[in-house]
Amino acid sequence: MRKRKLKKYVLPTIIMTFSFIVILTVAIITKDNKNLSKEDNITYVSNTIISQDMAVINTTKKIINPYTDQSVTIGKNYYNYKAESAEQEKSIIYHENTYIQNSGVDFVYDKTFDVVAVLDGEVTNVKEDEILGKIIEISHNNEYVSIYQSLSEANVKKGDIISQGQVIGKSGKNELDKELGNHLHFEMYVGGQTVDPLLYLNKDVQD
């Protein structure tokens, strides 16, 4: 059986045809990609928008006063070991022939006032004490704990999630500091240690 030979012009023609198809295919794909890129610029956020300066949201929270009534004043300060003796005497509680160092700040007003949470947190304890009155304890982030004593009303219960500024109770009277009359005894703990609340109130948490 005799083998058939291709004519000389057939092979170059096949090669040229194949090359043309490849070039045409590449051109079509490139054109489609360019069209897609244009559509992408319309659909998605452009580089120009991303590069613009954006204001960063300030997540820093300031510790607020445990009351909202501007008529409230300080009746007794926190006992400071480093203060002058005259100042320390003003921070002593005398109860049943015993002198007690004040572990918080007493806020007073002749009328009952709302007591609010100084920060977001969770109520970890609510109880009533014969001497201290109703007590609310709230745990916050950063190892902060706030305690509200001498309350006539407690509007929250253990386990409640509290927002900063939320009314949690009302001021009242207790047996420990009768001479103060209507007041709120407020304490703060940081890392398990009692601190002077006035050094933290109206300050940023991170500071």
- Of the two residues 2 and 56, the one the predictor is more confident about is 2
| CATH 2.60.40.420 applies to domain 73-199 | no
Least confident of 11-25, 29-43, 92-106, 111-125: 29-43
Q: Rounded to an integer, what distance in angstroms lies between the CA atom of residue 47 and that of residue 45?
A: 7
3-state secondary structure of 18: helix
The most confident of the ranges 46-55, 95-104, 140-149 is 140-149
H/E/C letters for each residue in 112-129?
CCEEECCCCEEEEEEEEE
pTM summary value: 0.70
Model confidence band, residue 190 (pLDDT cutoffs 50, 70, 90)? very high
- The pLDDT-based confidence of 195 (bands split at 50, 70, 90) is very high
Length of the chain: 207
Phi-psi region of 42 (alpha: psi -120 to 50; beta: other; left: phi over 0): alpha
- pLDDT for 12 beyond 80: no
43: phi then psi, degrees, rounded to nearest 5? -80, -40
Give the amino acid at 72. Answer: V
- Domain ranges (residues) in the chain: 10-51, 73-199
State the pLDDT confidence band at 155, using cuts at 50, 70 and 90. very high
- The answer, yes or no, to whether residue 117 has pLDDT greater than 90, is yes
C-alpha to C-alpha distances, 132 to 1, 150, 177, 179, 185, nearest whole angstrom: 119, 5, 9, 13, 9
Averaged pLDDT for residues 109-114: 96
Does residue 74 have a pLDDT over 80? yes
pLDDT digits (tens, 9 = 90+) for 165-186: 999 999 999 998 888 999 999 9
Q: What pLDDT does residue 194 have?
A: 93
Please report, to the nearest 10 degrees, the dihedral formed by the alpha carbons of residues 62, 65, 70, 72 taken in order: -160
8-state DSSP, 150:
E
Mean pLDDT within 38-63: 46
